[in-house]
Amino acid sequence: MKRRVFFERLITFGAISGMSLITLFGVFPSFFSTRRTSTKLVLGTEEELFNQTSFITKHIDNRTFIIKKAAEGTIEAFDAACTHAGCPVRWNETDQKFLCKCHGGIFDAQGLPLAGPPKKPLQKLQVQKRESSGEIILHIIDVSA
């Protein structure tokens, strides 16, 4: 095969392959991107949730969340999986810190890492309060490939 024929076929093959990929990305974009689903979960009213404590732990679909009421009255929610190895963290009310027993990870009240191997903050979830009923709504985002 001559050099000129080889390069003509190579360019033709490259052009056809490129056009095929562009078509696939346009027709089937879900194959090439992550999928995000969002779930809204009504937890109850503030009085029901924080009657005798300033935090609760909720288990939903093999995941654990810590919902806490801050001193200034705001309500925050965090995924209770440590960002280092996925071990469960717990809220320490006395120290106002999240603690991970697996590898000694410590996070502050905002979920930022303070000590241990974790480098990333805890995943913070969106919390909404309905004005009409006073119900607390947790927005859970699930990312899958």
Q: Could you tell me which residue, 104 or 53, shows the higher pLDDT?
A: 104
Who has greater pLDDT, 133 or 71?
133
Burial 12-28 (b: 16+ CB within 10 A, else e): eeeeeeeeeeeeeeeee
Residue 32: the pLDDT is 56
Is residue 19 scored above 80 in pLDDT?
Answer: no
| Boundaries of every domain in the chain | 3-32, 35-144
44 vs 129: CA distance, rounded Å: 10
Closest residue by Cα to residue 9 from 19, 1, 23, 21: 1
Whether the model pTM is above 0.85: no
d(CA 11, CA 22): 16
The reported pLDDT for the residue numbered 145 is 42
47 exposure class (CB count in 10 Å sphere: 0-12, 13-18, 19+): exposed
Does 2.102.10.10 match the CATH number of domain 35-144?
Answer: yes
- What pLDDT score does 112 carry? 92
Report, as an integer, the average pLDDT of 90-106. Answer: 90
Mean pLDDT of 25-46: 68
37-63 pLDDT per residue, tens: 777 878 888 888 888 788 888 887 788
What's residue 143's pLDDT?
Answer: 53
